Structure 1
C-alpha cells in the first residue's frame, strides 16, 4: 500500500508539473499573440480631436471586440504637429495617424513612398468650413494692422499645414511679397515666440485662434476670407491596410466618437479637455467652430483636391502623382 501511495503521490506531482508547464506555455503564447495597434493624433490640432474621444472612451477596443479581436491592445501617441507622426509611420512605429489635410497629403506623396511605407486615406475626423477657426495673429502693442505690413516682418507657422497655406494665400490676397523666410515651428512654440516678441505674427488654427482671442492679441487676416475648407484626414500604414476588420473597427469607433461630440457634448468636452490639457471653455468654443459628422466623400473630395493642387503649385514636396492617380490610389474610403 505504501508503495502504491508513493507512486500515486509522484504521479499527481508529475501531472501537476505538466499542467503548470502547459499553462505557462499557453500564457507565453497568448502574450506573443497579443497584437498592438498604435494610433497618433495632434494635441493642438482641434480637427483631430475625435481621436481624444476614441481614446478616452476605449471605442477602438470595444469595436475590435465586436469584430472578434479580444487580444488587441491599443496604444496612443500624441504630438504637437503632424511631422513626428509621419516619421513614426515611416519607421513602422505607428499604424494610424490623425493628420491635418495638408500634412497628410504631403505624407502620401509618391516621393515619400518606400517598400514598407505606403499609407492611404481611410477616414475624416474634424471639418472646418470656409476657413472658420484660422487666422493670422499679432500682438496689439506691435501696432501691426494688416498683412501688408508683414513684408519685412518675422512670421511663423507650422510647415506644410493649413495655416502655412493660409499665410501664403494671405500674402497673395494682400498683393505683397514677403521678404523674409517663413519661420517654421510647432504652434505652441510659435505662440511663445509671439509672446516674447521673437516673431511679429503667427498663422494659426483652432484652438490657438481661441487662445489668442484676448485683449493682448488681434487677428489681421481671418481664414473666412479664403472660403476654403480644412479637414483632418485619417491615414493608415501599409501593414494595417491588410487587415480590413481592424480598419472597419477603427472607422466605426470614429463614427461613434462623432456621435458623442454631437449628442453628448458635455461628456465630449470633458474627455477632450482631459486628453489635450486645454480647459473646458476653450474646448467648448472649438466644438462650436469645428464640425465632427463623419462627412461623406462628396463633402471632402474638393478640399483634398484643392490642397493637392496647392502643394504641387508651391512645390512644398514632389508629389509625382497626377490628381487622378492620387485619388484612385490613395483614397480608399
Structure 2
C-alpha cells in the first residue's frame, strides 16, 4: 500500500529534481500483427502521437527523448527483451502478460500491467479453425485429432479450458502441438493439421482468406480475455510522467479508431498486410472485441486465470500479487489529463457503439442485435443495415449495379459477436425471420425450437431476395 501511495505521488505531481539534460530512452515493444494492440503501438508510432504528450517542463525541461520501436510476432520474445532491459514498454495479451510478470519476478525484477488496450469479457478474439474443406462443425468432433496452437499464448489457455469443458484429457484425448500462426496457415492449406487455435486476428483472418473455417469462438468458454500494456516498474518509478504520456497517446489512438474505424483499418493493413476487412471486424462498431483501457474486474480475473494456467503448464512455480502487478494509477492519471472520467468508463460494458441509419430506409438503427453491414469496394465507409434481410436485399442491388463487395458482416443472434456473413449459418423462424449464428449446430438448435430451417450464406441471401 505504501508503495502505491509513493508511486501515485510520482504520477500526480512532478518531482522537483531536474533531469539535467538527460537523454531518456523510450523503448517500446509492439505486436503490429496482433491488431487489437494497435492503440498501444502501431497507431502511436505511425501517427506520431507520443511526441504530443511527452513532458518538456519541470524536471523534463532540458530532457531529450530517444524513442525506439521494435515489432514482435508474439509476447514471449518481447518479454525476453524487456527482462533483459532492452525494452521499457510492451503490448501483449493476458496470458503472455502474466508470463511477463513471472519472468520479471524470476529475474529479481518487477513489471507492471498498466492498461488494457482491447478485450472481451466473454472471450471473443481467440478461436479455433479447421481447413475449409473439413467436415468438422464443432470442437466436440476433434477428439483424437491434432490441434496446433502458439504455445504459452492466450489462445493456448483458451484451448486448454475448452478441452477441459469437453471432459477430455489434454494429454490423451487430443494431440496439442506448438505452431506459430504463420506456420499454421500453411499447414491448414496443406491439411497437415486437423485444427488450429489462435489469438487475434487469425481465427478471422484465415477464414477471410478462404482456406479455413471457424468452428469455435472464445466467447463459448465465457472466459475474459484482453491485450494490454506493460512497463518495467523501475522505469515507471523513474519516469512516471513518460508512462502517463505513453498512455495518453493510447487514449487518443483509441478515440481515432472509434471515430474512423475504416480509415485506420486501412492504415493497419498498409503496415501489417492484414486485410482492412478483418481489422474492421475488431475495431469497427459492435466489433469482435471492444476497445478498452480500464481495469474491469473481468480483466483482472483473466490475469489470475492465466497465472493458474501457467502453473498447470509448469511454466511458473510462483504466483503473482495481482494488486501490485496490475497498477491502474497511470491509466487513471492519463484519463484525467485527457479530460476523461475513468470511473464512468470502468462501469461501462457497452460494445463499441453503432450510431447509424439504415442505408436503405434512412431510419435510425435501434435494434443492434440484428445489424448487418456491407463494405463496398472503393467506398471509404461501411454501409449499415437494420437486419441481415435488408443487407441481402441491398447486396443483390449492388451486384446488379456492378459493385464489388469487400466484406459482409452480421451480428451473431446468440453471442452478439460480429461475424463474416459469408462464413455464418442462418436459421429462419416460423414467420420466416432470419437469425445469424457462427456454428451450424447453433442454427439447427434455433431452427428446431422455432419451427424454421437452417440456411447457409448462399441460401439465406437467395431467400431474402425472393421475399422482397
**TM-score, normalised to structure 1's length?**
0.80
Question: Corresponding residue for 1:317?
Answer: 315
Question: Corresponding residue for 2:428?
Answer: none
Per-residue CA deviation, residues 141-180 of structure 1 (Å, 9 max, x unaligned), is: 3433433443332211111222101211221222233436
**Unmatched runs of 5 consecutive residues or more in structure 1:** 1-31
| 2:24 paired with 1:43 | no
Displacement, 1:237?
A: 1.5
Change (3 A) 1:319 1:59: farther
Please give the residue correspondences for 1:174-213 in structure 2 after superposition, counting only pairs within 5 Å: 174-178=166-170, 179=172, 181-213=175-207
Match of 1:278 among 274, 278, 302: 274
Change (3 A) 1:109 1:137: same
Report the Cα distance in structure 2 between the residues aligned to 1:111 and 1:295, rounded to whole angstroms. 23
Match of 2:324 among 322, 325, 329: 329
Displacement, 1:113?
A: 2.7
Q: Would the aligned equivalents of 1:170 and 1:221 in 2 still touch at CA under 8 Å? A: no
| 2:50 paired with 1:56 | no
Question: Corresponding residue for 1:300?
Answer: 299
Match of 1:118 among 88, 110, 114: 110
Match of 1:152 among 128, 144, 152: 144
Report the Cα distance in structure 2 between the residues aligned to 1:249 and 1:111, rounded to whole angstroms. 23
Question: Corresponding residue for 1:236?
Answer: 231
Q: Would the aligned equivalents of 2:94 and 2:303 in 1 still touch at CA under 8 Å? A: yes
Question: Corresponding residue for 2:213?
Answer: 218
Moved more, 96-105 or 247-256: 247-256
Structure index of larger Rg: 1
Question: Corresponding residue for 1:22?
Answer: none
Report the Cα distance in structure 2 between the residues aligned to 1:73 and 1:277, rounded to whole angstroms. 28
Question: Corresponding residue for 2:243?
Answer: 247
| 2:162 paired with 1:163 | no
Return the structure number with greater helix share: 1
Q: Would the aligned equivalents of 2:130 and 2:212 in 1 still touch at CA under 8 Å? A: yes
Per-residue CA deviation, residues 225-246 of structure 1 (Å, 9 max, x unaligned), is: 1112211121111442221111
| 2:84 paired with 1:84 | no
Q: Would the aligned equivalents of 2:282 and 2:290 in 1 still touch at CA under 8 Å? A: no
Displacement, 1:251?
A: 1.5
Report the Cα distance in structure 1 between the residues aligned to 2:184 and 2:211, rounded to whole angstroms. 15
2:151 alignment partner, SS class: coil
Moved more, 202-211 or 170-179: 170-179
Q: Would the aligned equivalents of 1:212 and 1:218 in 2 still touch at CA under 8 Å? A: yes
Displacement, 1:64?
A: 0.7
Report the Cα distance in structure 1 between the residues aligned to 2:81 and 2:189, rounded to whole angstroms. 31
Displacement, 1:129?
A: 3.5
Displacement, 1:104?
A: 0.5
Report the Cα distance in structure 1 between the residues aligned to 2:86 and 2:175, rounded to whole angstroms. 33
Change (3 A) 1:110 1:88: closer
**Unmatched runs of 5 consecutive residues or more in structure 2:** 1-20, 329-468
Change (3 A) 1:278 1:111: closer
Match of 1:143 among 116, 132, 135: 135
**TM-score, normalised to structure 2's length?**
0.59
Q: Would the aligned equivalents of 1:135 and 1:209 in 2 still touch at CA under 8 Å? A: yes
CA RMSD of aligned residues (A): 2.4
Match of 2:93 among 100, 115, 131: 100
Displacement, 1:74?
A: 1.5
Q: Would the aligned equivalents of 1:134 and 1:204 in 2 still touch at CA under 8 Å? A: yes
Q: Would the aligned equivalents of 1:95 and 1:239 in 2 still touch at CA under 8 Å? A: no
Q: Would the aligned equivalents of 1:52 and 1:271 in 2 still touch at CA under 8 Å? A: no
